[in-house]
Chains A and B, each alone.
Chain A
Amino acid sequence: MTLDNPAQEKQVLPPGRPRIPASITVAVKDFWHSVRETAELVFSSPTAVIGMLIVLIWVAVAVFAPLITAHSPLEQDYKNINKSPTAQHVLGTDNLGRDVWSRVAYGARTILSLGPLSVFVAFLVGLALGLPAGYYGGWVDEIVMRALDALMAFPTILLYMIIISALGPSSFNVVIAIAIGGAPGIARLVRALTMDIRTREYVAAAKLRGDSDFMIMLREILPNCRGPLIVDFLLRIGYAAFYIGTLGFLGLGLPPPTPDWGGMVQEGHSHMTANIWPVLAATLAIVTLVIGLNMFADGLREESMRYQ
């Protein structure tokens, strides 16, 4: 009888791929496979490639800051104040005689560590609120969402100023402020994704093996939100860099003398007519980083949507 025929639906194996029993080699292979797929995705979008290159340049600057600068960012040289670029100070010096290039390079370290960190914290908060709101719906959703609406009603920059004024300027408090300011938007995104995914049949299947709600949210729903969340994460690092700069400019960022791009603009702008270099360098740094992150995220989003 045909019933006992093995493999009625014959599977065509990819040519040249031997049948390996389940083992680590397969897992490693799968890992590289997914890396290659992601890379293909990025490289198929010129926008994403350019964005990624800009970001990578800044990451390299941050990582190798001590190697590519001749001076410490804190070293003050009172004989050379507000100087234009020279061979010794490639981007000139600021009003305290500090090397602008060093401050930009070390400032990249600040912003590229605080930015992702604060967005990461914001994601933790946003996930903790958005997953249950989307999964349970009803009253849970109502309460969480109305509370977040209230928070979103504040203009973002005002919210940051209130938080920093209340807690005092420090890198820790900048992280807190950006996490609180970003969480509502993330929670909304996560909630929307969850509301869609919770109706899928694999979620029903998980319920039918008696999995707890927590398990279902973590194991079934969260991993399938990752695409939009990764794009959002990149975009938000851009916003965070922008807001850290703004806070620095308003004097609410990192306490001096920490090298900080926003702070550089703030300190330099009163001497701008005499020496444009500190302001120009810091502004360009912020602009290029934010544009780079945005292009990377946008390119990634467009490309991943196209093949859905």
Chain B
Amino acid sequence: MDQSAPILSVKNLAVTYRTRKRNIEAVRDVSFDIYQGENLGLVGESGCGKSTVAFSMVNFLGSNGRVTHGDILFKGQQLRGRSEEELRKLRGADISMVYQEPMSALNPSMQIQDQMVESLVAHRGYSKTDAIAESLEALKKVYMPDAENVLRRYSHQLSGGQQQRVLIAMAMLNNPSLLIMDEPTTALDVTVEAAVLDLIAELQKKYNTAAMYISHNLGVVARVSHKVAVMYAGEIVELAPTETIFHNPMHPYTMGLMRCLPDVDAPKGTRTLHPIPGRVPSPANLPNGCIFSPRCELARAGCSIEHPALIEIEPGHLVRCLRRGADWEGVKQIWATAESMQEQAPIQRDGTVNENVLEVKAAKVYYPVPFKTVAGLFGMEKRQYVHASDDVSFTVKRGRTLGIVGESGCGKSTIAKAIVGLEPIFAGQVEFLNVDISKQLNKRGIDSIRELQMVFQDPNGVLNPSYSVGDQIAFSLRRFHTVPPEQVHAEVERLLRSVKLDESYYNRLPRQLSGGEKQRVGIARAISTNPAMVVCDEPVSALDVSVQAAVLNLLLEIQKTRDTTIILISHDLSSVRFFSDDVAVMYLGRIVEIGPCETIYHAPNHPYTTALLAAVPRPDPNAAPSKVRLSGRVPSAVNPPSGCRFNTRCPFKIGAICEQEEPPKRDMGAGHLIYCHLTPDTLSNPNI
């Protein structure tokens, strides 16, 4: 085959979905080439048509989707209009796909080996024994520990990272020419994600496979892609080599995506995020002219009339914008000065009261494990507990933010729910404004309930779908008699305005709101009682980046104007850094490191923190990938490892002492505590 010809060439692709009311063109005029060994990243917010593009390559559009226009040339052959049977052969042998949810992509009732051999037997006519041997090889290629045994396991016996490795191994089995990956790491923890990304980058280099990588995360794309296509509302708005996209973006949408990302290397108060206003338009209702113009801060009069074409402004760099060349220079200068000015003006907080708002003392949250035997029911067996949070202690001072970070399953949400009273506290004490609140919610006084509110994670579950937005906020106001009854309506409108929603939202139902708007209403409801403290449990993790920035800015503003104390639970170290004064790092129910934000983001660190920081994908293609990677998975919280709980995964484990003794508390000064057997000197220099 000709080496210089693209493996995949897509020209003017258009995809239409048929719905009850009309046909919706979800993807329009998409063209790109992928050459051998090249990785094309496809980025954009949700609803921009990224997955539709991927699915149209293999004709997985569903019963109501159809490629209506354009060519899909794979090694020069037209894929569009092929029969199911022809495509099926091609898909298994030459085009492979890795999906977002590893759990649902594997058949839970089949052993891994049976699933893996299927494609070899079907597409290559292998015998079963040969196919199993080949599968074993494939698992070894993806560095699967204990590959022989993994073959005989079922998917539920593997961790998320292992499952994704199996899927990548399966995808690579037939040495495909093209590998399509649809958000393969989105469902994984950062530490696992980092390892999977390393693997993808390495495999691609080794086997010279062409790949398409879909992600909403710019940091991830920067890590694996050679060139990047930015999609917006079904169109490619910018296509360029990765280096150019990140260092010299030319489309306002690409720039907007960069500017709204919190930076893991910038401390609190030194940066504001620039959210992109509005939201992605529905493909059924596209604006005239440039589709980005209603949200574009640089839009001019002509932008809403003329639809710009995708133009090559320099070799390999295509942009769909009416501003060209010299137009840009002035804009860039204005933005650069605006940002440097903000850097000089850190956020001022009035009053440096050193009062403890919340004091958590050795709090434990345990859940009883249901008995599995009859003897257990009659109390003849020792009760087992899930040690969700174990001996957690910290204090939060007025007006400050404590960020709690860690992988999923480390107990950060549990401790948050225990503080607000949604989970019972098993042992230990929680003092809030000097009142003991370590009891169930219905036994707490109404005052401490009012002063301690919560912002939730899932925008779709936050609001009751049966009541209008205003009513739900009013429930709270009436319940706590925050304002006299006749002023409730006015107060709700005031609260809506304070979260940047206008009065017309009062009568809207939750389903008429976007995710970001729902989250704002959730925040308005939480602050309606004027609480001293708000616990935010992953408030932005379910939102698109551009909306995340707006919500984070809003929370920061509320904290500034109301002097609210905030606990921010997040797995995203960048947003924690943007927002927090203090940070606690949790692992398997324990705090392993706690201290002022600045000390946490620099060595010396607990080895777990080091690994977490190393795993954060940075939106910079030049960032050198760190060597510190965690293997394995978080152990069961029913029988946590003895000694230091992190000893099973710690890259800097000393020896038996880690398994036998609880790690000592190392006071590094200024309230920075590390629980580790390593001495402070060694901690400062973790690369030994």
Contacts and interface: CB of A to CB of B under 8 A. Distances in A.
Interface of A: 1-3, 5-13, 19, 21-22, 26-27, 30, 44, 200-202, 204-211, 219-220, 223-224, 226
B470 to A, nearest CB: 7
Contacts of A201: 456-458, 461-462
A12 to B, nearest CB: 7
5 contacts: A9-B514, A9-B517, A22-B489, A206-B475, A207-B421
Contacts of A6: 500
A12 B479 CA distance: 33
Nearest to A202: B464
Contacts of B20: 44
Nearest to B489: A22
A226 B516 CA distance: 27
B99 interface: no
A10 B466 CA distance: 24
B272 A209 contact: no
B663 interface: no
B454 A204 contact: yes
Given A2-B553, A223-B466, A208 B506 contact: no
Given A22-B503, A207-B441, 19 more contacts: A2-B272, A7-B277, A8-B550, A8-B553, A9-B278, A9-B517, A11-B504, A11-B505, A21-B503, A26-B507, A30-B507, A201-B457, A204-B456, A208-B441, A209-B475, A210-B441, A223-B466, A224-B464, A224-B466
A1 B342 contact: yes
A211 B456 CA distance: 18
B517 A205 contact: no
A19 B281 CA distance: 21
B557 A211 contact: no
Nearest to B550: A8
Interface in B4-23: 20
A271 to B, nearest CB: 53
Contacts of A8: 275, 277, 500, 550, 553
Contact of A209 (B342, B479, B516): B479
B479 A210 contact: yes
A2 B516 CA distance: 17
B274 A202 contact: no
Contacts of A223: 464, 466-467
Does more than half of chain A's interface fall in helix, strand or loop, or is it mixed?
loop
Interface residues of B, number: 61
Nearest to A21: B503
A39 to B, nearest CB: 14
Interface string B476-511: 100110000000010000000000111111110000
A9 B550 contact: yes
A11 B505 CA distance: 10
Interface in B440-474: 441-442, 446, 449-450, 452-454, 456-458, 461-468, 470, 472
Nearest to A225: B466
A211 B476 CA distance: 9
B595 to A, nearest CB: 28
Given A3-B557, A224-B466, A22 B507 contact: yes
B420 interface: yes
B504 A19 contact: yes
A9 B516 contact: yes
B449 A209 contact: yes
Nearest to B281: A12
A206 B422 CA distance: 11
A12 B522 CA distance: 20
A26 B466 CA distance: 16
Given A204-B456, A205-B454, A208-B422, A10 B278 contact: yes
A11 B279 CA distance: 8
